[in-house]
């Protein structure tokens, strides 16, 4: 029996109209399951199209996760045994951008766009604006990622511009994929049959629009030299994570969490407030990547001030999610999808708060350029973004395809990923701090390498566990899409009550 739906949002915080949107979007208080109510609003053909698009984006994204993290594990082993896997195609300098670009643009981007399409169509109670455009986008994203990977491995790259290492023409293909996606998402939301635009779509449409702007700014050549290039690099790097992955992942929370718990989000107003403050504060903080550089001091200080201001949307957003979950923590003992989302919310809260501290000059003195930053990258891109994607997929993919993974697959995936990433992040955070202190105390560089050795071995152990969890995730995705997964109960709108029991 699904638990009794409880409307917990204060009536003063939302208009009755918005409450109806929650009810539409989540089946809350409708007396029906959300699944049945929503599916009936689309024709069988539209349902099939949406399912195909969602499944295809998820399956290709999963291939990229497996490939990119196999490369990640190989690199991790090289820190312990530098002579392992030699040859020019396997040098660290080539593998590193292959790993970062494939995780960013192959894995996280494709998975989030697939989820965003599903959420846009479902919460707007309409069909996809154009399944054809979704396919074109899928092909462009994948062509860019394959061509980019091959180019990097052959030694063709765009220099040291982080996360922009793919050669220019390939980045144009990626930009094309983004534009197509923006058009299709906006088109879908524009044809909604609900009155309001549901909060999730503010985040996902906002994210894709901002990213088109950011990608264009990062592509135009005229100001990309000297210090101009450094500022654009900071702008691009931080906005890639802050205005692309972050809003898309948050948009998924705003849809999947109410769906899972069968109750509306704690506060719509707080969600809107976090959206606008995120938009105002995030774009100005890129220069915190280049503190103590020749960039103007005032620009660096501005970046630090706004890094502190980021606590507002981060704490506001996290509180909204945690308050939506309040009183339901016990559900976590029998719902892996909820546990994935919970880890994602905590990853967002802790990772971003850590980022604020990292931006202070006094702490940058120790942590800048060290492995501590790599720990922060994985706490956020893995602990937050990747766990959010997994949570979203485990909640929504069974609703789309009618197939669920088995409980053992969910358990193995969750525990290996949590334990593995915990080892990875803690070892690099501790090791990175020691590394920075060694540098600060003026010890010979080789001393810091020797001091890091055991921490790098632990990172290899954690990374191997993470990779194994991805193999299990691949199996789960197969069961939820083209394989023979357990049949999802069609009239049960509360997967928290069943998945992973």
Between CA 430 and CA 43 the distance in angstroms is: 55
Between CA 253 and CA 263 the distance in angstroms is: 13
User: 222 or 298: whose CB is closer to ligand HEM?
Assistant: 298
Between CA 379 and CA 420 the distance in angstroms is: 12
Helix or strand run (H / E) with residue 172: helix 168-190
Which pair of tokens denotes residue 259? 């769906």
Q: How far is the CB of 75 from ligand HEM (least distance, A)?
A: 4
Label residues 332-367 b or e (16+ Cβ within 10 Å = b).
eeebbbbbbbbbbbbbbbbbbebbbebbeeebbebb
User: 234 or 264: whose CB is closer to ligand HEM?
Assistant: 234
Q: How far is the CB of 285 from ligand HEM (least distance, A)?
A: 6
User: 131 or 463: whose CB is closer to ligand HEM?
Assistant: 463
Q: How far is CA 464 from the centre of its chain?
A: 21
User: 210 or 245: whose CB is closer to ligand HEM?
Assistant: 245
Instruction: List residues near ligand HEM by CB under 6 A.
Output: 69, 72-73, 75-76, 96, 99-100, 103, 107-108, 162, 237, 241, 245-246, 285, 288-289, 307, 310, 314, 351-352, 355-356, 358-359, 364, 367-368, 371, 373-374, 376-378, 380-382, 384-386, 463, 466-467
Contact 125, 38 (CB under 8 A): yes
User: 285 or 477: whose CB is closer to ligand HEM?
Assistant: 285
Between CA 338 and CA 134 the distance in angstroms is: 28
Q: How far is the CB of 69 from ligand HEM (least distance, A)?
A: 4
Q: How far is the CB of 246 from ligand HEM (least distance, A)?
A: 5
If you search the block for the tokens 């080892």, which residue do you land on?
423
User: 138 or 425: whose CB is closer to ligand HEM?
Assistant: 425
Percentages of the chain per state (helix, strand, coil), in multiples of 5: 75, 0, 20
Q: Which residue is nearest to ligand HEM (CB)?
A: 355
User: 42 or 241: whose CB is closer to ligand HEM?
Assistant: 241
Q: Count other Cβ atoms within 10 Å, centred on residue 200.
A: 29
What SS3 state is found at 402? coil
Q: How far is the CB of 374 from ligand HEM (least distance, A)?
A: 4
User: 92 or 482: whose CB is closer to ligand HEM?
Assistant: 92
Q: How far is the CB of 491 from ligand HEM (least distance, A)?
A: 35
| 292 dihedral zone (left: phi>0; alpha: psi -120 to 50; beta) | left
Q: How far is the CB of 243 from ligand HEM (least distance, A)?
A: 10
Q: Count other Cβ atoms within 10 Å, centred on residue 486.
A: 16
Q: How far is the CB of 55 from ligand HEM (least distance, A)?
A: 21
Angle at 45 between CA 43 and CA 47, to 5 degrees: 70
Q: How far is the CB of 275 from ligand HEM (least distance, A)?
A: 15
User: 284 or 397: whose CB is closer to ligand HEM?
Assistant: 284
Closest of 397, 401, 421, 398 to residue 469, by C-alpha? 421
Q: How far is the CB of 340 from ligand HEM (least distance, A)?
A: 14
User: 238 or 403: whose CB is closer to ligand HEM?
Assistant: 238
C-alpha to C-alpha distances, 91 to 82, 152, 237, 244, 458, nearest whole angstrom: 10, 11, 24, 29, 21
Q: How far is the CB of 240 from ligand HEM (least distance, A)?
A: 8
Angle at 264 between CA 261 and CA 266, to 5 degrees: 105
User: 27 or 355: whose CB is closer to ligand HEM?
Assistant: 355
């Amino acid at each position: 029996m699904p638990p009794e739906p409880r409307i917990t949002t204060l009536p003063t915080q939302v208009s009755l109209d918005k409450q109806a949107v929650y009810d539409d979007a989540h089946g809350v208080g409708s007396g029906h399951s959300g699944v049945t109510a929503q599916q009936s609003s689309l024709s069988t053909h539209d349902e099939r199209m949406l399912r195909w698009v969602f499944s295809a984006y998820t399956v290709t994204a999963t291939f990229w996760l497996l490939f990119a993290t196999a490369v990640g594990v190989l690199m991790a082993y090289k820190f312990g045994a530098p002579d392992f896997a030699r040859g020019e195609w396997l040098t660290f300098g080539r593998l590193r951008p292959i790993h970062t670009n494939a995780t960013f643009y192959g894995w996280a981007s494709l998975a989030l766009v697939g989820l965003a399409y599903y959420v846009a169509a479902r919460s707007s109670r309409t069909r996809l604006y154009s399944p054809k455009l979704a396919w074109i986008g899928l092909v462009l994203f994948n062509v860019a990622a394959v061509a980019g990977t091959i180019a990097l491995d052959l030694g063709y790259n765009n220099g040291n511009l982080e996360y922009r290492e793919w050669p220019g023409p390939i980045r144009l293909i990626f930009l094309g994929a983004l534009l197509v996606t923006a058009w299709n998402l906006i088109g879908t939301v524009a044809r909604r049959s609900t009155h309001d635009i549901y909060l999730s779509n503010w985040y996902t449409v906002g994210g894709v629009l901002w990213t088109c702007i950011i990608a264009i700014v990062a592509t135009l050549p005229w100001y990309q030299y000297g210090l101009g290039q450094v500022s654009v690099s900071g702008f691009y790097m931080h906005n890639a994570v802050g205005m692309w992955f972050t809003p898309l992942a948050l948009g998924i929370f705003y849809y999947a969490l109410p769906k899972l718990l069968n109750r509306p989000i704690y506060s719509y107003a707080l969600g809107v407030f976090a959206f606008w403050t995120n938009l105002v504060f995030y774009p100005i903080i890129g220069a915190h990547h280049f503190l103590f550089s020749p960039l103007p001091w005032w620009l660096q200080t501005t970046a630090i001030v706004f890094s502190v201001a980021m606590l507002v949307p981060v704490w506001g957003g996290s509180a909204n999610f945690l308050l939506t979950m309040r009183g339901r923590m016990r559900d976590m003992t029998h719902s892996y999808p909820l546990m994935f989302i919970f880890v994602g919310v905590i990853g967002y809260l802790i990772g971003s708060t850590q980022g604020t501290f990292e931006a202070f000059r006094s702490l940058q003195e120790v942590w800048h350029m060290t492995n501590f930053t790599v720990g922060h990258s994985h706490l956020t891109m893995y602990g937050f973004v990747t766990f959010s994607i997994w949570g979203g997929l485990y909640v929504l993919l069974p609703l789309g395809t009618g197939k669920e993974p088995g409980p053992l697959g969910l358990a193995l995936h969750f525990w290996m990923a949590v334990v593995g990433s915990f080892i990875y992040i803690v070892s690099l955070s501790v090791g990175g701090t020691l590394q920075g202190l060694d540098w600060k105390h003026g010890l010979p560089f080789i001393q810091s390498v020797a001091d890091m050795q055991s921490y790098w071995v632990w990172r290899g152990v954690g990374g191997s566990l993470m990779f194994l969890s991805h193999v299990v995730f691949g199996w789960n995705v197969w069961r939820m899409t083209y394989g023979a997964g357990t049949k999802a109960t069609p009239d049960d709108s509360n997967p928290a009550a069943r998945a992973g029991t």
